[in-house]
Amino acid sequence: MRYEGYACASGAGTIINAIATWKGAAFGIGLKTRAEVCLTGNKENVCGSIEDMPEGDTRLIERCVELVLEHFGLSLGGTVRTDSEIPLAGGLKSSSAAANASVLATLAAIDETLPPLEAVKLGVRAAKETGVTITGAFDDACASFFGGVVLTDNREMQLVKREEYESKVLIFAPDKKVFSSQTNIERSRLIAPYVDIAYELALSGEYEKAMTLNGFLYCGALGFDTEYLLRALECGVGGVSLSGTGPSYAALVNSEQAGILREAWNACGLEGRVIETSINNKDAINLSKEVSN
């Protein structure tokens, strides 16, 4: 007997990076990761693959499948495959999207459900166990799963706030990759008092100000160029930040600003690409229904 399931989850952009204080904020974006899970009745290893990345690290998506099966006491093996529109190791939450999609695809394959936050926490647990994240990235996982803007307490695994937010998003994704597990935590903790100020701005709904403050703080702490932030401000953009631990930058823009900022970022000279998308306000369950249909 074969059990098959399909699911989809979005990437996300950063408002507040949680590494310094364990409190984070993020928003879903319109770039997606899809997962396909095929299980068999024989107890075998779960084997993962990532489309167009034959040498890619599949431990995260494999562990997601295993944790769902363990939760329901099922002795099954099989495969999990993902393909994604999200640049890998770019600070755009590709790992959170892959985890959420893999968990949901496994649930679909075995015809089971979990409360949404429990599904998110399984993916976060898998990310911690496989070493792809420092804080567990609960904020990123929630933004990917629930869409819209989310604020979280990552230490307590608490979703503090979630609301829909309409905006176009412009992303500069450099060709180089930066893995979250390699981030300088000590330097990040030095800016914690100031990140707290940014988080308070986000709590009051001042997402763009919070995002921009976060960007300058983490660019300074982690050694990224602030020119991309300043170019955005020169274009009249109110919200721009280093996304995650970099190297990508994300800005909340309107249609006019998008074209101007694209030119400004391209003129900076760093190899990479500019991606135009928007905030995704749909949750992963509904996105997965669209994939399945």
Query: Averaged in consecutive runs of 10 residues, what is the pLDDT profile of the chain (293 residues)?
Result: 88 95 96 96 85 85 97 94 87 92 97 97 95 84 98 96 98 78 77 98 98 97 94 98 92 97 93 95 91 65
Predicted local distance difference test score (pLDDT) of residue 2: 64
Q: How wide is the angle at C-alpha 239 spanned by C-alphas 237 and 240, nearest 5°? A: 95
Closest C-alpha to 188, from 142, 227, 223, 153: 223
The encoded tokens of residue 200 equal 């308070």
Domain map of the chain by residue range? Answer: 2-164+283-292, 168-278
Q: Which class would CATH give 2-164+283-292?
A: alpha beta
Q: What CATH architecture applies to the domain 168-278? A: 2-Layer Sandwich (3.30)
Predicted local distance difference test score (pLDDT) of residue 98: 96
Predicted local distance difference test score (pLDDT) of residue 89: 67
